[in-house]
Amino acid sequence: MPRIIPDDGPRTARLVLVGEMDATHEEAQHRHFAGPSGAKLTSWWRTVGLQRSDFYVTNVVPYRANRQNKIGLVPWAELAPNIEALHERLAALTDPWLIIPTGNTAMRALIGKSRISRLRGSIYAYRDRRGRMIKVIPTIHPAALFRTPYWEKRCVMDWYRIVADAEFRELRLPEREHFIKPTIADCWDFYEDARQRAEMLAFDIETPRKVTFIDQGLTKKGLPKKPKKVLGQARITCIGYSFESHFSFTIPTTMEYWRDELMLEEAWKIIRLLLQLPCAKGGQNAYAFDIPWLLEPQYRAPVRNFLWDSLCMNHVRDGRDDHAMHYQQSLYTREPYHKDEAKDPDEINKWTADIEQFWRYNGKDNCVTVELIDEHLKWLDSHNMMQFYLDNYYPLFKPMLRAMTHGTRINQPIRARRYNKLRATCITIQDKLSLWAGEALHGPKNLSPKKLGRFLYETLKLPPQYSRERKADGTRSLTTNEVTVRRLMLRFPKKLGSFETNKEGEFVRPDMPGPLILAHRRSDVLSKFYADARYDADGRIRCTYKFGPSTLRLASSKNWRRTGSNMQNPDREMRDAFIPDEGCIIAEFDLSLAEDRCVKAYAAAVAKDPRRKEVLLARARANPWENDEHTRGASLIYYNNQRAITDLLFAADERVTKPQRYLAKRARHASNYDMHGSRLSEEILKDGIVISPEEGDQMINTILDRDVPEVRLWQASIRQEILRNRCLANSWGLVVDYTYDRLSDELYREGYAFKPQSDIAMLLNRWGFVPCDRFLITLSKQNPSLVPARINLQMHDALVISTPPELAWPIYTFLRQSLERPRHYGPNKVIIPLEAKLGANWKTEIEYKKPPTQREFEEVAFGIFDRMKK
DNA sequence: TACACACGCGCC
DNA sequence: AAACGGCGCGTGTGTA
């Protein structure tokens, strides 16, 4: 029997800390929280002004129950009496006010609930064995931080709450009223009230899919079969409003509720009027979800003056943290976690029994949104970040919405034809692979990485290959990814075949396992882009844009109807299937080598030699038709050309071949972000080009030693900045906070990427995307006879636009004027040039590095347009 | 059956 | 020893 470790701390303490189980250090020192977990707690307590003597410290299992130190391995038969004993120990305390269970097991022992990651920070009541009500605030066990370091922030936030709550006994939970079953008259009353009093009106819709159960008749034995569940169309079933955090008003929008067409229509009329009130509106993720839903033709409920999005406001506070409402709520409000029951839209059947509770939750969400927005407003104000929100988030809502709802057209016959062909190819390959393996290596659709692994590493007895990234538990998994397969093909050509291709790009021996696997992967990935389900009935594809975590790039994903997909990653090979709007051509405008210029501008600031600084700045500012960085790199790497180092501008070296230029391009990119040769060789292997890790290192080192040694200095300066400030700021004032990150090479690499990525993302958004969207609206008003030009896609450093040929030139001119303005990157001013491409589809035909004359440009634009009509 | 996770891979 | 960063989705698999 292991030795019981005694509790410590005064029995009279107001605060009680309940841990889970003692581990190695605790056993050795005979004291709870004696090891690294205790040290972590001590550091948080120091931050918030507590110390260990403030607590009565105990554990659910007050001894080391297993050698693995895992509470999860303690059997229930052993755990239950320990929990019982814990309750008794707590009952023996004089007058505890607040108990802090750390970790899931401790929380479950006290309040019977699970899922600490969701419930942490909430405020609960515990009735002890003497009938006393004691406040409980569960938090994460410090040991969890060793696996998930980014949780540290929420732990510290919890401890701030705990120290504040230690001052009073009562729970102080928010009291709210949720009005959920209104009559039309109630709705009008609420409208009047909101019209007169609301300064900020928050709203939230619910869009479950309709669920129907189809009777399956009787079984042979005469028993009723289980009805089949069919998911129907998603639709808005209610909308809730709140303008004071203690009251919400929810209007159902179903016929089941109103029972009458006219009543429902009147309800919608009031809904629209509420959304049209002049006061500011707010919501959680509303610009990306609720608003596009409300704009759907069957609802026609546009939102006026949408200003405050609690998700975006939270994004300003910390872009890399979570933004889910229940998480924000746990940090900034006293509302306990209330999404216990799944509120996933497709889980509505769980709610059919208690639709009123569903509406109440909608109401609660609205109240919480109001509270969050109030809290965020205070924060933005006190941290001088209000303008940052108003400059970088708010103005993007409309352009994002317009691009999202407009979408991109696809050539449907081509799409369907290619999809069928690719799927057929996959099936053929699956059959051939099954013959090789003696068993199927695929599931219903795709190759199974597991089965493929067994085939390669057991059947064929090839040496097992492991992935680079470690899993959460620190192990590496067997991998069969493309690079691995290609590497194995190089080493074992007799078993796997080679990836050598002929002039048409076909494998020389296509029926060997290696080429089959590669061909399958390729066909499968392409077929996904063509899959029917992605496209809406009107033959267009729509995505949702949202703000990416750290760099303010936009991220693209499935849209609000749950169709569409990420539109920032379609394979280049399939882009010819994307076509312009009716009456338009495609114009794509992209910032020329933007991130590389940015890096050079920063690097020039740390150059010691003024001549070097001059060279770097000249290259950062060079016109794309007068300087070719990649040819320069290849000329240096392959021909040791000294002029490639010294010349301000370097455009041509006839010795440089296309593959050489391409490899130099990859090597330059690798150098900027501190990639290593082995990784570079893998990246390049994907293109079927073999270089060794050593050769990769040589290329990178050539660039870094001889071409841009200042990049190394710049990276060192980034490390310094992170070390000094624990954060980085870009040229637009965007800050990324590293307070709770471990200093590591990984973090530094993230740092190297941050400035160029975010500088360019924000440049394109603020000087490109936003003004361009407004300009296109003006342009179409000025040219009412023409089809309006529309932005189809935002691609981080490029905009894809459908435009009638007449408007292509004005748009190009406008974007050049707006984007080609100097900006300071560090102390150095640089203009990043804009390049234009034109085409009948997204695989554009003509690229202008040097701006042509208007006449030349328009001739081409009209030429493309005329050819399309034929 | 539903869910969470691992894997693989597309682009900038 | 570990060896760019930033995203997203679809599929297979194991588990509850």
The winner for highest mean pLDDT among A61-70, A646-655, A681-690 is: A646-655
Answer for A566: CB within 7 Å of strand C.
yes
> What does the longest C-alpha to C-alpha distance in chain A come to?
92
Instruction: Give me the A residues in range 778-807 that sit within 7 A (CB) of strand B.
Output: 795-798
Confidence of residue A117 (pLDDT cuts 50, 70, 90): confident
Distance in angstroms (rounded) separating the CA atoms of residues A735 and A755? 10
| Å between CA of A732 and C1' of B1 | 49
Q: Which residues share a beta bridge with A228?
A: A214
* CA torsion angle A378 A381 A384 A385 (round to 10): 70
Instruction: Give me the A residues in range 425-484 that sit within 7 A (CB) of strand B.
Output: 449, 452-453, 467, 471-472, 477-483
Pull the structure tokens for residue A719.
Answer: 């490390």
| Å between CA of A465 and C1' of C1 | 18
Distance in angstroms (rounded) separating the CA atoms of residues A299 and A271? 10
* Cβ neighbours, 10 Å, residue A349: 14
Distance in angstroms (rounded) separating the CA atoms of residues A610 and A604? 9
| Dihedrals phi, psi of A422, to nearest 5 degrees | -65, -40
Sequence-distant (≥ 6) Cβ neighbours of residue A622 within 8 angstroms: A648, A649
Average pLDDT over residues A103-127: 89
Average pLDDT over residues A211-224: 64
Tokens 């992605």 label which residue? A534
Rg of the Cα trace of chain A? 31
Helix (H) or strand (E) holding A633: helix A629-639
Task: Give strand letter and number of the nucleotide nearest A479 (CA to C1').
Answer: B7
Q: Examine the pLDDT at A151 and tell me if it is beyond 90.
A: no
Answer for A682: CB within 7 Å of strand B.
no
Across all residues in chain A, what is the average pLDDT? 91
Average pLDDT over residues A73-78: 84
User: Nearest CA to the C1' of C10 belongs to which residue?
Assistant: A528
Helix (H) or strand (E) holding A829: strand A828-830
Task: Give strand letter and number of the nucleotide nearest A557 (CA to C1').
Answer: C8
Give just the sign of the alpha carbon dihedral A386, A387, A388, A391: positive
- Which pLDDT value is given to residue A347? 47
- Which pLDDT value is given to residue A322? 86
Answer for A210: CB within 7 Å of strand C.
no
Answer for A528: CB within 7 Å of strand C.
yes
Q: Examine the pLDDT at A355 and tell me if it is beyond 90.
A: no
Q: Examine the pLDDT at A682 and tell me if it is beyond 50.
A: yes
Give just the sign of the alpha carbon dihedral A8, A11, A15, A18: positive
Q: Examine the pLDDT at A191 and tell me if it is beyond 60.
A: yes
CB-based contact A733:A560 (threshold 8 Å) = no
Confidence of residue A620 (pLDDT cuts 50, 70, 90): very high
- Which pLDDT value is given to residue A179? 97
| Å between CA of A71 and C1' of C7 | 36
Confidence of residue A1 (pLDDT cuts 50, 70, 90): low
Confidence of residue A344 (pLDDT cuts 50, 70, 90): very low
User: Nearest CA to the C1' of C13 belongs to which residue?
Assistant: A450
Residues in chain A, overall count: 870
CB-based contact A367:A283 (threshold 8 Å) = no
Query: Which 3-state string (H, E, C) describes A120-187?
Result: CCCCEEEECCCCCEEEECCECCHHHHHCCHHHHHHHHHHHHHHHHHCCCCCCCCCCCEEECCCCHHHH
Distance in angstroms (rounded) separating the CA atoms of residues A89 and A9? 13
Distance of CA A823 to the CA centre of its chain: 28
Q: Of A187-191, A200-204, A285-289, A855-859, where does mean pLDDT reach its minimum?
A: A285-289
- Which pLDDT value is given to residue A2? 80
Q: What is the DSSP string of A583-631?
A: T-EEEEEEETTHHHHHHHHHHHHT-SSHHHHHHHHHHHH--TTT--HHH
Task: Give strand letter and number of the nucleotide nearest A752 (CA to C1').
Answer: C5
- Which pLDDT value is given to residue A349? 52
**Residue A562 Ramachandran class (φ > 0 left, ψ -120 to 50 alpha, else beta):** left
Distance in angstroms (rounded) separating the CA atoms of residues A48 and A137? 16
- Which pLDDT value is given to residue A177? 97
Instruction: Give me the A residues in range 460-479 that sit within 7 A (CB) of strand C.
Output: 468-470
- Which pLDDT value is given to residue A342? 40
The SS3 of residue A211 is: strand
Task: Give strand letter and number of the nucleotide nearest A476 (CA to C1').
Answer: B6
Q: What is the pTM of this model?
A: 0.93
The SS3 of residue A562 is: coil
Q: Examine the pLDDT at A346 and tell me if it is beyond 50.
A: no
Distance in angstroms (rounded) separating the CA atoms of residues A355 and A206? 12
- State pLDDT tens for residues A787-798: 999 999 999 999
- State pLDDT tens for residues A246-264: 999 999 999 999 999 999 9
Sequence-distant (≥ 6) Cβ neighbours of residue A73 within 8 angstroms: A65, A66
- Which pLDDT value is given to residue A445? 86
Q: Examine the pLDDT at A340 and tell me if it is beyond 80.
A: no
Q: Examine the pLDDT at A345 and tell me if it is beyond 70.
A: no
Q: Examine the pLDDT at A348 and tell me if it is beyond 70.
A: no
Q: Examine the pLDDT at A857 and tell me if it is beyond 90.
A: yes
Distance in angstroms (rounded) separating the CA atoms of residues A57 and A499? 63
Confidence of residue A683 (pLDDT cuts 50, 70, 90): confident
User: Nearest CA to the C1' of C3 belongs to which residue?
Assistant: A676
Task: Give strand letter and number of the nucleotide nearest A666 (CA to C1').
Answer: C4
Pull the structure tokens for residue A277.
Answer: 């009130």
Task: Print burial letters for A786-798: b (CB count within 10 Å at least 16), e (below 16).
Answer: bbbbbbbbbbbbb
- State pLDDT tens for residues A413-457: 999 999 999 999 999 999 999 898 888 888 888 888 888 888 998
Q: Examine the pLDDT at A385 and tell me if it is beyond 90.
A: yes
| Å between CA of A207 and C1' of C12 | 29
| Å between CA of A678 and C1' of C1 | 14
Cα distance between the two ends of chain A: 88
